[in-house]
Amino acid sequence: MKIFSSWNKLNFMKKEAIWGYLFIMPWIIGFLGLRLGPMIASFFLSFTEYAIISPPKFVGLANYIKMFTSDPAFRDAIRVTLTYAIFAVPVGLSLSLMIAMLLNQKVPGVTVWRTIYYLPSVVSGVAVSMLWVWIFHSQFGLINVGLHAIGIQGPAWLGDPSWALPALIIMSFWSIGGGMVINLAGLQGIPTELYEAASIDGANAWWRFWSVTIPMLSPVLFFNLVMGVIDTFQYFTNAFVMTAGGPGRSTMFYNLYLYQNAFRYYKMGYASALAWVMFLIILVLTLLIFKSSPYWVYYEGFRKR
């Protein structure tokens, strides 16, 4: 009887696995046909000098050596991207959490406000960029008009090397609705009994936030942090449409610099090398975040040994 039961269980698991693979087959086909092949090709091209109109010429590690020794634009791209990440990611995470906590209250019309805060996240990137070009306009922009009304002379924003990157950082908060929705889902999954127990123990709102909300929400914050870092190194559309990397390479993001080498200067080999270095940078940063997670991420029901 036990053998028959084990046999049925094994057959069920096999059928379940087959159905699972059938459901993810479109993704597997897409990955093998549209991603894996180009990745292998770009790895080979990163060791070549390739200008599209002529066959690839093998140059070994020349692209990587040039990148780290004699390409100031590469260093500027790294600096701009890291500066953007240092300011935009933590502030964006904090704002999305704050708004999520406000929208987690039981007040009339809260669903309308949730929709309003989330809508900017689904608007086309080009349309948003064109909107913010006018908002940051030095003479007619909404920000400078408001500053002028209170007697402050606003900067040139996108036309000023000192203010172009801060302008893009400010603009990044426009799309915090995606992280807000994820945080809101995490907040609604926290058992109310924990807050009640903390209140009985005498904890005020501040201590309930640090002792209950943050630990229980830490897996969600961890996810948003990882995705924020990855998105930062893939930042492209806004910089491409609004500044094209200028003025004076002050907004030359890494992904934009990669694009320019590939499709403006037709240096496909060098662009492929840039892509693989970007992959390694993202991999290292992601691994560091994962390595730090045991010290600040709490999973309910999991106990460290």
Which residues have C-beta within 8 Å of that of residue 109, sequence separation ≥ 6?
Answer: none
This prediction's pTM: 0.88
Mean pLDDT over residues 214-221, rounded? Answer: 94
On the question of pLDDT at 86 being above 90, the answer is yes
Residue 223 has a pLDDT of 95
65 pLDDT tier (thresholds 50, 70, 90): very high
Strands (E) across the chain are located at 48-49, 57-58
pLDDT at 305: 46
Q: What are the sequence ranges of the domains in the chain?
A: 68-296
Confidence of residue 99 (pLDDT cuts 50, 70, 90): very high
- Angstrom distance (rounded) from CA 185 to CA 199: 23
Within a 10 A sphere around the Cβ of 178, how many other Cβ atoms?
A: 17
Mean pLDDT, the chain, whole residue set: 90
| Mean pLDDT computed over 44-55 | 92
What CATH superfamily is the domain 68-296?
MetI-like (1.10.3720.10)
Tell me the pLDDT tens digit for each residue of 37-47. Answer: 889 999 999 99
Encode pLDDT of 186-207 as tens digits: 999 999 898 889 898 888 889 9
